[in-house]
Amino acid sequence: MLKKTLFVCFALLSLCAYVRAQGGYSSASMGLSREASGLGIIPPPDAIRVEEYLNYHKHQLSMPEKGQAARMDLRWGCDKINSFSSEAVLQIGFTTLPQNADNSVIPPLNIGLVVDKSGSMNDFRKIHKVREALLSFLEGLRPDDIFSISVFDNDSQVIFPSQKVGNKNTARIAIESIAANGATNINSGLLDGLKQVEKKLDPKYTNAVILLTDGIANQGEADPEKILQNAAQYLDKGIILSTIGVGRDLNHGMLRNLAKKGKGQVHFLADSADVKKVFVQELEALLSPKARNVSLSIENSTDLSIQDIYGYEPRIDQNRVTFELDNMNAGLTQVLLIKYSLANNLSNPPVSIPVTVTWSYDDITQSGKKITEKRELLLHYAPQEGRKLNMLLDPEVRKNYSIALMAQSIKQMAKMHYEGKTEQAEDCIDITIGQIKSLFPAYRDPDLTRMLHIIERYASAFDQYRMTKPLD
């Protein structure tokens, strides 16, 4: 009964407007946890993304130098390891310059808006708010930007075909004509929008689609996997896709997966009140690109084995880990963490153990020039220390590792709870709280405080459940 109640409550809470995270990540996980933990509600594990917690705050990392669009920051929590301390944490960080911090020319836009105008968009004057948001978005475009508008209900229609914005009068009339009626054919509308952008596809442009919907696909192709497959043929050509979900009747997983495939943003809003703000944010992101097609590869010596990777969706092939990262806009800070341990059969360890990191991206500030950087980082075997080492000497790694531990604990707790292992879920949270308090006996950092308060509220929720649970 508790599990069903929590799941229903999650469906309601998932409507909350989520604050946009640093680094181009949706902060849906953070927003959800802050609300849900306060009410003793446990979200499903697949709604929890560790990397979103990890990149919610600004990181203290090296900034790009003159002429760089982005910079990679590599550091160990401690660059020494021995048999007493056989674990090491590698942090890989990224930064981009703030908007207008250099003299780069902002590339033109080729943008397609795809708007749900099904009957439910009449509720609470949503369609009115959306029209206001679209008009505001239009005003931010430049005359030479390319623009299109597609709408959908039972079917779909292109109401403003792909063309240069010009004086905007025709586009304004098209937006003001949008009226709500009918069902929700997301697949047809999305394909129309993608096809419009494809018509004017140009690598010199920022090519993107923004999809807004307040419902679940119930007309035409309704299978989320098929919709993703249909969109993928266009997204694989370099079209960015962001999604905006408004209201309670949403397929959150599909909208998230579409945005992930399209390397764009994902937004979930309780109602249409913040739609205008989100469209402004989207325009700002589209007008501040720094790096596209970002890939990362980490190859470690066979003297090390990977113990954990915190979040993301990497591909692991023996001693190599590869990531396809989101596009990077101005003002980004982002980190990922990998925890290594000494190989079990290491009888004669070398003095230094290498880890090679390679990343590449298309530099938008240099007309999409491919940039590749390869760096080697050494981990030193220090048997002469003869004692246990602190693997978190670097304060930035220590902080981010602690946040990653807490985020991972929330995900594990949710998984255990939904498997009916409530006592193990409670133990998981309690153990993590103890770990964090031992790492930070007198913590004052606001980012750590925010995360610790969240998991402490989850612990309190379990205590309350145990106290109110009826006797058998």
Q: pLDDT, tens digit, for every residue of 153-190?
A: 999 999 999 999 988 999 999 999 999 999 999 999 99
- The residue from 385, 419, 443 where one domain ends is 385
In a shared domain, residues 151 and 267:
yes
The pLDDT of residue 49 is 85
Please compute the mean of the pLDDT values over residues 372-393 and round it to a whole number.
88
In a shared domain, residues 79 and 146:
no
Q: In angstroms, rounded to a whole number, what is the distance separating the alpha carbons of residues 431 and 38?
A: 20
Q: In angstroms, rounded to a whole number, what is the distance separating the alpha carbons of residues 104 and 117?
A: 38
The pLDDT of residue 306 is 94
In a shared domain, residues 147 and 204:
yes
In a shared domain, residues 326 and 186:
no
Mean pLDDT of the chain: 86
The pLDDT of residue 345 is 64
In a shared domain, residues 309 and 380:
yes
Would you say residue 392 lies in a domain?
no
Tokens matching residue 379: 């981990």
The pLDDT of residue 27 is 58
Would you say residue 65 lies in a domain?
no
Would you say residue 146 lies in a domain?
yes
Would you say residue 157 lies in a domain?
yes
The pLDDT of residue 9 is 40
* Residue 17 pLDDT greater than 50, yes or no: no
In a shared domain, residues 156 and 265:
yes
227 or 203, which is more confident?
227
CATH number at residue 337: 2.60.40.740
Would you say residue 307 lies in a domain?
yes
- The residue from 336, 353, 385 where one domain ends is 385
* Residue 14 pLDDT greater than 80, yes or no: no
In a shared domain, residues 115 and 238:
yes
Would you say residue 62 lies in a domain?
no
In a shared domain, residues 132 and 266:
yes
Name which of 297-301, 383-387, 465-469 the model is least confident about: 465-469
Domain boundaries, position 330? 70-102+290-385
Number of domains in the chain: 3
Would you say residue 390 lies in a domain?
no
What pTM, to 2 d.p., does this model score? 0.81
Q: In angstroms, rounded to a whole number, what is the distance separating the alpha carbons of residues 101 and 96?
A: 10
| Phi, psi values for residue 76, rounded to 5° | -90, 150
84 or 32, which is more confident?
84
* Residue 379 pLDDT greater than 50, yes or no: yes
What Rg do the C-alpha atoms of the chain give, in angstroms?
24
In a shared domain, residues 242 and 311:
no
308-330 in b/e form (b: 16+ CB < 10 A) is: ebbbbebeeeebebebebbbbbb
> Angle at the Cα of 467 (from 461 to 470), degrees rounded to 5?
120
The pLDDT of residue 245 is 87
In a shared domain, residues 119 and 208:
yes
